[in-house]
Structure 1
């Protein structure tokens, strides 16, 4: 797939960065403008998250029938999902099908990671460079590089000395990794660690799971997709997609949310309601049993203790069960996980949980790793340690704007944006799923489609009216930051040291980076600003 040689000296209307689901849709939509477009993709294939994250057990946590494109009715009808929650190979296959079906590949340059973006303010043009040697110029840049793209590898002393194999889950090799009989160390118990642990444990000689902070995980109840369920969805796609656009999480729910208060019920009644939801409602339906779970600490603790009791009932060793029970933050304020047998994994004789909160990892050795108390001999180390989320993909591209301002300096005290799209001083640069957008807290294909549509309409407006540049101001960034924080303060989200706040990266400023006012409210706010005469945007000819 890799081009024979780099592109140098070419001028484009738009450069798209990333060939994940949002980048692919941007290429599709930009055809309407008859624009000269190129997409630079770091990998050698399409799919973004589902290209890179090919670790065993990788699976989406939104139902397949709605974690898909809505822009083409024939595509919706023809594609078949084998399971309720699709595994990585099916999602990558879907991305490839879309790229081929709509002839998008011809505009994509693969194995070309953007490593420099420089704005020429005299010409109102971006100079774009890649690690492959491409050097092009474009009026607009659409950065669809992903919220969870820049992997976080802890800087343990001695990693270079390790004589076994080590992998980060976000850069997993295409060839199968054989765990048979091996001593495996898994570092990290977020969503990725929760997915990979049961699969590795099936064949590993022994699996040590190194946990710093336990996570809440719900049973996915994944299963083959029933033909009747598929037919029903395909017959009702139009109305269900409309409902999705009105939902805070950009999700269609099989059952309406119960708007009753948890305090209307006796403890026995609460337990019954929660047990019924746990048994029957796979996925995140469970969270919607009562109206105030995410805003009232007392209500949240009732639900949290219910989940902790499910962990205690599942894990036979009660000391291990207690270590797996989150107690330092409210339920749902870190990324909620869905699992297929995660807690049951710790009942296996070949699995050991290591609490690195009380016994931290100090170094990697040639034969494994050490904590303050113990040395562990390992053949394979897996880093399921997440990402420099929301900002890392942008800051690693060495972006400089007006006056040579470096984006890393601009964001030194935390990321700023206007509506999640624009950064003051970096004109004609549109972020998709950027900091200040709903991003990871809304279904990302649907919300990405909507954001791309909004950007393309904005570019159309500029071209039709002869504008050369769009920027915003620090004042409007501050206004939007205030709104992002206002809606977050209404919830319990800030009470957790999560990657939503950048807490997983040493030295990263603690700024809440996700708009939790809801995808439906976000649509309304973006449209309001346009309808108010492009309020907050600095347009110039």
Structure 2
């Protein structure tokens, strides 16, 4: 099957960024389609259906902010919406905006090649469809490519096995089952606290403790307000959306890093602030205290000690206490994105839950009946869950063979000696008319996805309007600008406490992947300033012809 009509834009992915981009371009008269691998809208929230799947950005900031017709009559029911709530939202957005008519589902983009003679991308899919598009917009998200470690014998396991990233739509029955879960990242934490109370026995295999913080979940139906946080009225939404762009990560309502420095505040003042943020819940403890925690070891140590003391008080067993919340930090606090938990640590107080430290007792193999470790031998289980994460930030882009007009692939460029290079975290030299949102070198890991991706989409849409008005057909990031942006991003990263931590922030969770900073650490306001600087100077840093 082939379609020779030239689209103005082809968008890959039907999550928040993809939907917002489609809506804006369509309103402006551009011809645009979305190709989506899944069978529904929502991007990661189509795929995230494991037990307890829930977003860590609070209501109402985690939604399309410009699409007034969507948010003006949608009532959120949870402070931190779960997967079911989010699917209800996407279905509502579809009814309001008529999205599906321009989305091709069950279609995975596999290749894209630039035709320099026509200034178009030739895009191919797993369904045999070939599409021509003037602009290629990658809304693949930062967690599109799941990662499964190469455990010896994995294929031999005869029980039920699932990766958290591709959970079956019909769910899994855990009652009366012996379950093992490998991994304690975001999905691991949510699954563990959800299934711990219902399984016959749960064995958790932990490499590094998750320094999770209280979610302080709240439902509209609650009679008692047990949290400092209150559901905002819909009338406040426009004000909230505006204010978000003035905060570091656009992740917390009405809160941001304090302007005070750590060493200019008394210990008493600091502890009072920590306690307030702890009680408020969500990411406030991470992104509304002292920004010094990312740069000053003394400040980071104090925050970790506060965290550890509070978490250790919730764990009964002294061995589990030291594994889950050691007195000495396993890495600088906050240099991995903290997970939000509701009852994660209490689950380990149950007699049916065991915790194995795979750093001391590594997994040797997966057998037909269970998991074999160095010290415990084989532990038989009925269900094996792989909560082993994703090839984050760049993985979704590099899963597509993207070839420029000179026959060079983006894989060859980014996996070369210089590593990942971009300009403004939006585009890369040598690959014209190509952009990505909520991906490498953007504020991705430290920001609210709809806000961050929306900012980037708006910038690119404005660029496309300018090109159309001026009869231009080709835009490319300039190499010197790319070098300058990448260097500045790396300099900021290496001045912080982030580099020593083995995290997906810099690809350290994937064996063989180059260890490099993949996220912009300057925050949303500084990022907006950089975008506007380029735009207001006739899109400086880009060559438009």
Same fold? TM cut 0.5: yes
Higher mean Cα deviation, 441-450 or 42-51? 441-450
Give the direction of change, closer, same or farther, for the CA distance of 1:313–1:402 in structure 2 (3 Å limit): same
Structure 1 275/238 Cα, relative in aligned 2: closer, same or farther at 3 Å?
closer
RMSD: 1.9
C-alpha separation between the residues in 2 aligned to 1:497 and 1:510?
9
Counterpart of 1:241? Answer: 241
Q: What pairs with 1:62-211 in structure 2 (closer than 5 Å)?
A: 62-211=57-206
In structure 2, the partner of 1:509 is 514
The CA deviation at 1:256 is: 5.9
Cα distance in 2 for partners of 1:383, 1:420 equals: 31
The answer to which of 377-386 and 253-262 deviates more is 253-262
Q: Quick check: 402-411 or 471-480, which moved more? A: 471-480
**Residues 199, 361 of structure 1: alpha-carbon distance in 2 compared, 3 angstrom cutoff:** same
Q: CA–CA distance in 1 between the matches of 2:176 and 2:36?
A: 37
Would you say the 8 A contact 2:50–2:171 is kept in 1?
no
* TM-aligned CA deviation for residue 172 of structure 1: 0.9
Which residue number corresponds to residue 348 of structure 2? 346
1:390-401 paired onto structure 2 within 5 Å: 390-401=393-404
Greater alpha carbon shift after TM alignment, 489-498 vs 315-324 = 489-498
What pairs up with 1:282-431 in 2 under 5 angstroms? 282-287=281-286, 288-325=288-325, 327-373=329-375, 374-413=377-416, 414-431=419-436
Deviation at 1:488, TM superposition (A): 2.1
Conserved 8 A contact 1:243-1:252? no
- CA distance in 2 between counterparts of 1:236 and 1:199 reads 33
1:10, CA displacement in angstroms? 3.6
In 2, the alpha carbon distance for the partners of 1:491 and 1:376 equals 41
- The Cα of 1:269 is off from its aligned counterpart by 5.7
- The 1:295–1:225 alpha-carbon spacing in structure 2 relative to 1, beyond 3 Å, is farther
- Report the Cα offset of residue 293 of structure 1: 2.1
Distance 2:18 2:90 in 1: 11
TM-score after normalising by structure 2: 0.94
Q: Which residues of structure 2 form unaligned runs of 5+?
A: none
Which whole-Å CA distance do the structure 2 matches of 1:474 and 1:175 have between them?
Answer: 49
2:361–2:373 CA contact under 8 A, matched in 1:
yes
Calculate the TM-score normalised by the size of structure 1. Answer: 0.95
Q: Equivalents in 2 of 1:69, 1:340: separation in Å?
A: 26
State the Cα distance separating 1:153 from its structure 2 match: 1.0
CA offset digits 1:114-141 (Å, max 9, x no partner): 1111111222111111111111111111
Q: Does 1:35 align with 2:37?
A: no
CA distance in 1, matches of 2:261, 2:123: 53
Residues 1:459 and 2:459 aligned together: no
- State the SS of the aligned residue for 2:175: coil
Q: Which residue of 1 aligns with 2:259?
A: 259
Instruction: Give the aligned partner of residue 501 of structure 2.
Output: 496
Asked if 2 retains the 8 angstrom alpha-carbon contact of 1:333 and 1:495, the reply is no
Q: 1:44-59 maps to which residues of 2 (within 5 A)?
A: 44-59=39-54
Retained in 2: the 8 A contact 1:47–1:96? no
C-alpha distance in structure 1 between counterparts of 2:455 and 2:56, whole Å: 20
Deviation at 1:296, TM superposition (A): 1.0
Task: Identify the residue that residue 213 of structure 1 maps to in structure 2.
Answer: 208
Cα gap change, 1:252 to 1:317, in 2 (>3 Å): closer
Quickly say closer, same or farther: Cα 1:232–1:276, change in 2 above 3 A.
Answer: closer
Judged with a 3 Å threshold, the aligned counterparts in structure 2 of structure 1 residues 32 and 507 are, in CA distance, closer, same or farther, namely same
Relative to structure 1, the CA distance from residue 272 to residue 465 in structure 2 (aligned partners, 3 Å threshold; closer, same or farther) is closer
Work out whether residues 439 and 514 of structure 1, in 8 Å CA contact, stay in contact via their aligned partners in 2.
yes
Q: Tell me by how many angstroms 1:251 deviates.
A: 3.4
Whether the aligned pair in 2 keeps the contact of 1:21 and 1:95 (CA below 8 Å) is no
Describe the superposition over 1:328-371 as per-residue Cα deviations: whole angstroms up to 9, x where unpaired.
21110001110011111110111111100111112111111211
SS of structure 2 residue aligned to 1:491: coil
C-alpha distance in 2, partners of 1:149/1:64? 23
Residue 3 of structure 1 aligns with which residue?
Answer: none
For residues 531 and 216 of structure 2, the distance between their equivalents in structure 1, rounded to whole angstroms, comes to 36
- Does the 8 Å CA contact 1:12/1:139 hold for their aligned counterparts? yes
Cα distance change, pair 418–75 in 1 and its aligned pair in 2 (3 A): same
CA distance in 1, matches of 2:519, 2:66: 25
Q: Within 5 Å, give how 1:473-488 maps onto structure 2.
A: 473-488=478-493
Structure-2 separation of matches of 1:217 and 1:172: 23
Give the deviation of 1:267 after TM superposition.
4.9
The alpha carbon displacement at 1:31 in A equals 1.2
Whether the aligned pair in 1 keeps the contact of 2:394 and 2:440 (CA below 8 Å) is yes
- SS of alignment partner, residue 238 of structure 1: helix
Kindly tell me: are residues 521 and 264 of structure 1, through their superposed partners in 2, closer, same or farther at Cα, counting changes over 3 Å?
Answer: closer
Q: Does 1:437 pair with 2:442?
A: yes
In the alignment, the residues of structure 1 paired with residue 506 and residue 251 of structure 2 have an alpha-carbon distance, to the nearest angstrom, of 24
In structure 1, C-alpha distance between the alignment counterparts of 2:127 and 2:283, rounded to whole Å: 42
Moved more, 284-293 or 353-362: 284-293
What does the per-residue CA deviation read over 1:465-487, in whole Å, with 9 as the maximum and x for residues that have no partner? Answer: 11121112332221111121233
Q: CA deviation at 1:11?
A: 2.6
